[in-house]
DNA sequence: CTCAGATCCTGTGCGC
DNA sequence: TGCGCACAGGATCTGA
């Protein structure tokens, strides 16, 4: 899936195409996503007009005056806009139908989610209530990161990937940001200095902004909402580059496993 | 409270 | 060419 840049790119493409469109129907082809999908949702949605398409963490929000359709792409989900009567493929699980087009949700691994939340239920919902700061805001800064990491023994990479303090940093961009900030991914979060926090925050913002500008990264099977294939791993410094030379110092890139997730780093640029 | 590990599900790619 | 196994972008739950 999609990390934050892919979700944001999806939104950037969907927003102009969906705003002011009126929902004509909903077709659901599975009940089992990460969260159960209400098969009778169609009655609620038909007739509602899309006001905006926004994002919170990696949740994509299609907003109407009454509430929001909340979509999470999980590990393998994608959205695209197709013509009416375009036949559904194997893992096409939800269609949101408009007058002249369909927004189609595909998710082979079914780790994603598609649900409806009324306005009053949105902010307090369990999916949203424990989410941390958006990484591209001023609230996510070095001072805040420094304070919240004190006494934490968890490796900094895992800490970044939790959503409690900062959201939207997934497995790819955690490795990439730490490389750019020259911080070893196994370093205990509580051990990073204020100066390292400054560099890390700065690099996280740069890396995410760049990926968004590129139109969302790098997934070989990532399909943008217009149906065109996405980019493929062209810009990664360390992710997926085990055994290849570091682009800055030529040292061989290494891989290790942290909390069950592959982690890539340069042992010379990111010393312990 | 903190943290490690298992878990949901399917597809792909590798070594044999 | 076919088969089995390891691994994959996330997030949540359990239990030590």
Residue A40 burial (CB count, 10 A): 8
pLDDT digits 0-9 by tens, A174-217: 999 999 999 999 999 999 999 999 999 999 999 999 988 887 54
Residue nearest B4 (alpha carbon to C1'): A259
Q: Name which of A132, A131, A140 is nearest A206 in CA terms.
A: A140
In whole angstroms, B13 C1' to A220 CA is 13
Q: What is the mean pLDDT of residues A254-260?
A: 92
Which residues touch A123 (CB under 8 Å, ≥6 apart)?
A129
Nucleotide with smallest C1' distance to residue A232 CA: C9
Query: Protein footprint on strand C: which nucleotides are under 7 Å from a CB?
Result: 7-12
What nucleotides of chain B have any atom within 7 angstroms of a protein Cβ? 2-13
pLDDT of residue A225: 55
| C-beta of residue A257 within 8 angstroms of C-beta of residue A242 | no
pLDDT band at A39 (very low <50, low <70, confident <90, very high): confident
**Average pLDDT along chain A:** 90
Q: Would you say A222 and A6 are in contact if contact means Cβ atoms under 8 Å apart?
A: yes
Q: What is the pLDDT of residue A222?
A: 45
pLDDT digits (tens, 9 = 90+) for A101-152: 999 999 999 999 999 999 999 989 999 999 999 999 999 999 999 999 999 9
Report the distance from CA of residue A232 to the C1' of nucleotide C7 in Å, as an integer. Answer: 18
HEC readout, chain A: CCCHHHHHHHHHHHHHHHCCCECCEEEECCCECCCECCCCCHHHHCCCECCEEEEECCEEEEECCCEEEEEECCCCCEEEEEECCCCCCCCEEEEEECCCEEEEEECCCCCCEEEEEEHHHHCCCHHHHCCCECCCCCCCCHHHHHHHHCCCCCEHHHHHHCCCCECCCCHHHHHHHHHHCCCCCCCEHHHCCHHHHHHHHHHHHHHHHHHHHCCCCCCCCCECCCCCECCCCCCCCCCCCCCCECCCCCCECEEEEECCEEEEECCCCCCC
Distance A97 CA to C8 C1' (A): 31
Nucleotide with minimal C1' distance from the CA of A73 is C10
Distance A130 CA to B10 C1' (A): 29
Q: Would you state the torsion angle of the CA atoms of residues A171, A139, A189, A197, taken in this order, to the nearest 10 degrees? A: 100
Is the distance between the Cβ of A172 and the closest atom of strand C smaller than 7 Å? yes
Across chain A, which distance is largest between two alpha carbons, in Å?
59
Whether A223 has a pLDDT exceeding 70, the answer reads: no
Measured from Cα to the C1' atom, the residue closest to C7 is: A262
Using a pLDDT cut of 70, give the percent of chain A over it.
93
| The predicted structure's pLDDT at residue A237 | 93
Instruction: Give the CA-to-C1' distance from A131 to C14 in angstroms.
Output: 21
In degrees and rounded to multiples of 5, residue A165 shows phi and psi of: -100, -50
Catalytic positions of A, please?
2-3, 58, 261
Point out the nucleotide closest to A259 (alpha carbon to C1′).
Answer: B4
Give per-residue pLDDT as tens, A158-170: 999 999 999 999 9
Residue range A50-85, pLDDT digits in tens: 999 999 999 999 999 999 999 999 999 999 999 999
Is the distance between the Cβ of A40 and the closest atom of strand C smaller than 7 Å?
A: no
**Residue located via tokens 């051990």:** A191
Q: Calculate the CA A23 to chain-centre distance.
A: 25
CA dihedral A225, A226, A228, A231 (to 10 degrees): -50
The answer to whether the beta carbon of residue A3 comes closer than 7 angstroms to any atom of strand C is: yes
């Amino acid at each position: 899936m999609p990390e934050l840049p892919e979700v944001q790119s999806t939104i950037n493409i969907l927003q102009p195409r969906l705003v002011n469109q009126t929902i004509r129907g909903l077709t659901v082809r599975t009940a089992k996503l990460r969260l159960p999908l209400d098969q009778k949702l169609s009655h609620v949605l038909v007739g509602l007009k899309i006001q905006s398409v926004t994002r919170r963490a990696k949740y994509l929000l299609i907003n109407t005056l009454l509430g929001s359709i909340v979509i999470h792409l999980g590990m393998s989900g994608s959205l695209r806009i197709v013509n009416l009567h375009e036949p559904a493929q194997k893992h096409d699980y939800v269609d949101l139908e408009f007058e002249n087009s369909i927004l189609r949700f595909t998710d082979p691994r079914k780790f994603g989610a598609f649900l409806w939340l009324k306005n009053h239920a949105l902010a307090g919902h369990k999916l949203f209530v424990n989410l941390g700061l958006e990484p591209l805001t001023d609230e996510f800064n070095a001072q805040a990161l420094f304070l919240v990491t004190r006494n934490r023994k968890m490796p900094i990479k895992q800490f970044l990937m939790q959503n409690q303090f900062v959201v939207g940093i997934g497995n790819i961009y955690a490795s990439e940001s730490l490389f750019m900030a020259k911080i070893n991914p196994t370093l205990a979060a509580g051990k990073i200095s204020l100066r390292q926090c400054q560099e890390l925050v700065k690099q996280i913002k740069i890396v995410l902004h760049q990926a968004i500008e590129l139109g969302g990264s790098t997934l070989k099977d990532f399909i943008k909402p217009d149906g065109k294939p996405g980019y493929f791993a062209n810009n990664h410094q360390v992710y997926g580059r085990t055994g290849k030379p570091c682009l800055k110092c030529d040292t061989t890139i290494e891989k290790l496993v942290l909390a069950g997730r592959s982690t890539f780093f340069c042992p010379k640029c990111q010393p312990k």
